[in-house]
Amino acid sequence: MEKRNFLIGVLVSFLLSMTVQAGAATSVWLDLLPGDGNPDVSYSLLVGNTFSADVFVSELPENPKIYTMAFKIKYDPSQVNLLSAQVFDDGSIGWPFRPSYNYGEGEVDLAAGSPLGVAHSGTVKLGTLEFQCIAPGLSVLDLEPTDQTGWGFYTGAGVKFDDQITWIDLELRQTPVPVPASLLLLGFGLVGVVCVARKQSGTSQNSSRI
Ligand SMILES: [Ca+2]
């Protein structure tokens, strides 16, 4: 009986450890505004539209804590224009350093640090970005680790955590502004008038030759 209880105990511990590991995956993702608190992976918009997105990180490790964060967002500058990008700080986390770098050619980096470290089993907002769609097509907002030296998600022990993060991208589908139905009808009407006018003109020329 003791052996059976021991085996059940081992099995329960194993299942619990699997659950903890499965729920502890750290990820960085975008939530389009107004956000629902879930990652967005695709979005359709019209040329001229603006949209904002919050960047979140989920499941930051409890031990050791994360003391700095940095990430990069790459975008297609021929299709979307970056209007603003800033690190989020409502005072609850206390990021003392909040640089952001806009490299202009489709790349923006955000970085910050906290002297107390940040550990959170839920989600932590890292920043907010605003874009405008300037051309039709398909493009991607590509979330990835920054390549700026010395920046990234670092634990207090100075271990870089970026490789253990899942980076969730957002696919953008940009479509041209549709022509209103009334304008289309007007266009068809004008074409019809021109055709009739040409036909009548041709008929009168033919009859004048007779
Ligand atoms: Ca969302």
pLDDT digits (tens, 9 = 90+) for 139-198: 999 999 998 888 999 998 889 999 999 999 999 999 998 877 666 666 666 666 555 566
Which is more confident, 128 or 10? Answer: 128
**Ligand 1 centroid to residue 43 C-alpha, Å:** 10
Mean pLDDT, residues 11-37:
71
- State the chain's mean pLDDT as an integer: 82
Tell me, in angstroms, the distance from the centre of ligand 1 to residue 9's CA. 40
In a domain, 99, yes or no: yes
CA distances from 81 to 130, 142, 170 (A): 9, 14, 15
Instruction: Answer whether residue 196 is part of any domain.
Output: no
In a domain, 79, yes or no: yes
In the reported structure, the alpha carbon of residue 190 is separated from the centroid of ligand 1 by a whole-number distance in angstroms of 45
Neighbours of 155 (CB within 10 A): 18
Q: How many CA atoms are closer than 13 Å to the CA of 53, on its beta-carbon side?
A: 24
Angle at 14 between CA 10 and CA 20, to 5 degrees: 145
The CB-side HSE value for 206 (13 A sphere, CA atoms) comes to 6
Distance 37 CA to ligand 1 centre (A): 6
CA of 209 to the centre of ligand 1 (A): 72
Ligand 1 centre and the CA of 119: distance in Å? 23
Q: Tell how far the Cα of 158 is from the centroid of ligand 1, in angstroms.
A: 32
**CA pair distance 26, 166, nearest whole angstrom:** 6
CA of 130 to the centre of ligand 1 (A): 15
In a domain, 133, yes or no: yes
Question: Count of domains in the chain?
Answer: 1
Ligand 1 centre from 137 Cα, in Å? Answer: 22
Between the CA of 34 and the centroid of ligand 1 the distance, in Å, is 8
Instruction: Tell me whether residue 153 is in a domain.
Output: yes
**pTM across the whole model:** 0.74
Tell me whether residue 188 is in a domain: no
**Residue 155, in any domain of the structure:** yes
191 domain-assigned: no
Whichever domain contains 50, its CATH number is: 2.60.40.680
Q: Which domain holds residue 84?
A: 22-181
- Return the residue matching tokens 């967002």: 73
pLDDT at 18: 44
Tell me the CA distances in angstroms from 143 to 90, 125, 162, 165, 189, one per residue in order.
23, 14, 12, 11, 49
What pLDDT score does 208 carry?
47
Distance 40 CA to ligand 1 centre (A): 5
> What does the pLDDT read at residue 21?
45
Read off the pLDDT of residues 106-150 as tens digits, 9 standing for 90 and up.
999 999 988 888 888 889 999 999 999 999 999 999 999 998 888
